[in-house]
Structure 1
Amino acid sequence: MTTQHQITDAELQAFAAEAAAQPRCAECTPLWRPGWESMSAAAGTDHLALLGALGSEASWEQLEEFHPAGTNLWSPDAPIAPGWHPYTRSTLWRCARCSGAFLRYTEYGGYYLEERIRPLWADLIVRR
């Protein structure tokens, strides 16, 4: 894991609020889906800029997920829970045109790597 700016709780909330207040641009509209999507199935992401990481090297090995309401990783209403997997391995990306904010992480399976993306929904952010 390379060292990146560590996104604070306040920054995460601010980016989520700004993203919610703006209409989507044409490039972000196809990415604005309710849950995690495979990047191979997603539209282009070249217009997004990396802002930083939600996790740190210390949290990288945290693989436990947070689903208090019985959701799962793929649930559209699954909480965005910094401090829990996959957010410990996620980075925050933002569109300069519409302020759309997205989380990205790479799933490391036994025989594959899969890049995933999810919009940053303000009302789904939870803390421990």
Structure 2
Amino acid sequence: MNRHTMTPYVDAATLVELAQRAEENAAESCSCTRASLDGWQSQPLSIDEAQLVEIATLVREDDPEPTFAEYRPDNVQYWSADAPVAPRYFPYNRCGVWQCTQCNRLYLRYTEGGGYFVDRRIRALKSHLIDDVPL
């Protein structure tokens, strides 16, 4: 268990299993799908926080300073819907895995902080995009 979030840490292989199971069991429509979340987005107001529950984390307890290095093969953009999900790289190494209690879809969420702002970001988790690339 991660001492900060009290949710279990999952590695890439387990993340793929969770994502595949969620994809198999996802309901067709849900209020959480009003906005396309295929790529990173600032969390839309249309998502009801009460609908999401954190089920796992990609934050490793034994890594007090996760890297800010990004994994961007072929120079794919961070915001792109087809950007790979590389759990050891930023921002994934700072994400919680959240599940919609209504439709079972999984989302990755983290908080981006800058000099004068904080932005909660969210992205739908797609199993085929998970890439277990070493640092």
- TM-score (ref. length: structure 2): 0.83
Does residue 69 in structure 1 map to residue 69 in structure 2?
A: no
Q: Which runs of 5+ in 1 are unaligned?
A: none
- Higher mean C-alpha deviation, range 35-44 or range 105-114: 35-44
Q: After TM superposition, list the pairs within 5 Å mapping 1:1-128 onto structure 2.
A: 2-4=4-6, 5-21=8-24, 22-40=26-44, 42-57=46-61, 58=63, 60-128=65-133
- Return closer, same or farther for 1:41/1:73 CA change in 2, 3 Å cut-off: farther
Alignment partners' CA distance in 1, 2:9 and 2:35: 24
Query: What are the superposed Cα offsets for residues 67-88 of structure 1, whole Å, 9 maximum, x if unpaired?
Result: 1121121111111010000011
Alignment partners' CA distance in 2, 1:41 and 1:48: 13
Alignment partners' CA distance in 2, 1:17 and 1:59: 29
- Asked if the contact 1:93/1:102 (under 8 Å) is kept, the reply is yes
Query: What are the superposed Cα offsets for residues 42-64 of structure 1, whole Å, 9 maximum, x if unpaired?
Result: 53232111112112240643100
How many pairs align? 128
Q: Which runs of 5+ in 2 are unaligned?
A: none
- Return closer, same or farther for 1:72/1:42 CA change in 2, 3 Å cut-off: farther
- TM-score (ref. length: structure 1): 0.87
Structural RMSD (CA):
2.0
Instruction: Report the identity percentage.
Output: 33
- Asked if the contact 1:51/1:94 (under 8 Å) is kept, the reply is yes
